[in-house]
Amino acid sequence: MTDYVATCRDADHDTITASAGIADVALYPSGSCESVYLDPADARTFARGILALADEIDGGEQPKAVPTLTAVKVGDEVRVVVDDPTYRAGEFVGATGRINEVNSGAELPYRVTLDAPHSNDTVRGHWWCAKVERLAAAPTDDSAPTPDRASYLAQARDLMSGENYTAADLIALADYLAG
């Protein structure tokens, strides 16, 4: 691995060396010197060398994962996280409602139609907000699991208990239950 050496600006015989160990970066001043003074440009170069050694050891800093945010759009159910910080600040934080209008780039980009009437109805059920969070969508009838053929047959069998029935009768009732 590479060593990086910086020379003191005041005494040419005083240096500091950076070397990579197995799991760390070691700094060694030369001889008996306690301090090595570097010009800003030399200090930056030396620091970059130390960072390069650290990257050789552990692969470098991993960029933090940035969560991908889906843009809130008109019609979304939301909770107010930050309302208007300059007028009636905090009054609507936690309130839920539906996005009525979005003005991208504005200080208060989200106009929320509030679910519950506010005690001071001067807002007419709407409020401009700085930050909102989308609420989980309620499951729709389309997302409900549809019963399979076996469950219709089981339901038909339960309904016909105690009766004298054939397999054809059971299947006919299951088909009827399935619609």
User: Following DSSP, what letter does each residue of 93-108 receive, concatenated?
Assistant: TT-EEEEEEE-TTSSS
Q: Specify whether 95 is located in the same domain as 54.
A: no
* Domains held by the chain: number: 3
Residue 65 lies in a domain: no
Q: Specify whether 150 is located in the same domain as 120.
A: no
Q: Quote the mean pLDDT of the chain.
A: 80
Distances (CA, A) of 117 to 74, 97, 106, 121, 127: 20, 10, 25, 7, 12
Q: Specify whether 130 is located in the same domain as 158.
A: no
d(CA 94, CA 132): 9
Q: Specify whether 124 is located in the same domain as 94.
A: yes
pTM score of the predicted model? 0.39
Residue 40 lies in a domain: yes
Residues in the chain: 179
Can you give the residue range of the structural domain that contains 161? 145-178
Residues 6+ apart with CB under 8 A from 152: 174, 175, 177, 178
By DSSP bridging, strand 15-20 and strand 25-29 are antiparallel
Q: Specify whether 122 is located in the same domain as 93.
A: yes
Q: Residue 78 pLDDT > 70, yes or no? A: yes
Residue 68 lies in a domain: no
Q: Specify whether 129 is located in the same domain as 149.
A: no
pLDDT tens digits along 13-57: 889 988 888 888 888 888 778 888 899 999 889 998 888 888 888
Q: Specify whether 8 is located in the same domain as 46.
A: yes
Highest mean pLDDT among 8-12, 146-150, 158-162: 8-12
pLDDT tens digits along 98-108: 998 888 878 88
Residue 126 lies in a domain: yes
Residue 152 lies in a domain: yes
